[in-house]
């Protein structure tokens, strides 16, 4: 059973979202996603300043098995991509919720509220199984 922390938001495409007090969000991939991908060997993160639409492919996580697009959960602007993933992409496998991929400033805070909560994401996982 993969882990689903209660204090995060989620998407159907297996991203997790953590809100900061200033409304900006940090994004990564879930335990389910890292397990399905297997050993991650490269991560491409977006450049700061890039404008994103909701659902836009903006990062790539590549494992030995396959390359997987990461989709922006909300419309907004990229604040930062995690440069540390360059040297140690396997951190995502070891600690999927403690390893962020990018930080985004949402255009509309309400969009974040509308994301799946932990219970809803658990249901997504049950339905997919």
Tell me which residues touch other proteins (CB under 8 A). Answer: 35, 38-39, 41-42, 44, 62, 64-65, 67, 90, 93
Q: Which is nearer to other proteins, 64 or 110 (CB)?
A: 64
**Nearest-approach distance from CB 18 to other proteins, in angstroms:** 26
Q: State the minimum distance, in angstroms, from the CB of residue 71 to other proteins.
A: 16
The span from the CA of 9 to the CA of 65, in Å, is: 27
Phi first, then psi: what are they for 67, rounded to 5°? -95, 140
In whole angstroms, give the CA distance from residue 113 to residue 48.
23
| Residue 117 DSSP one-character state | -
**CB nearer to other proteins: pick between 41 and 114:** 41
């Amino acid at each position: 059973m993969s882990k689903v922390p209660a204090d995060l938001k989620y998407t159907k495409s297996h991203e997790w979202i953590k809100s900061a007090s200033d409304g900006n969000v940090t994004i990564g991939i879930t335990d389910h996603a890292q397990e399905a991908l297997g050993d991650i060997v490269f991560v491409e993160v977006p450049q700061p300043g890039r404008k994103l639409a909701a659902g836009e492919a903006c990062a790539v996580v590549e494992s030995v098995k396959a390359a997987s697009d990461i989709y922006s959960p909300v419309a907004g602007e990229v604040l930062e991509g995690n440069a540390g993933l360059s040297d140690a992409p396997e951190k995502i496998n070891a600690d999927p919720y403690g390893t962020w991929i990018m930080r985004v400033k949402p255009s509309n805070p309400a969009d974040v509220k509308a994301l799946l909560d932990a219970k809803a994401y658990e249901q997504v996982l049950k339905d997919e199984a």
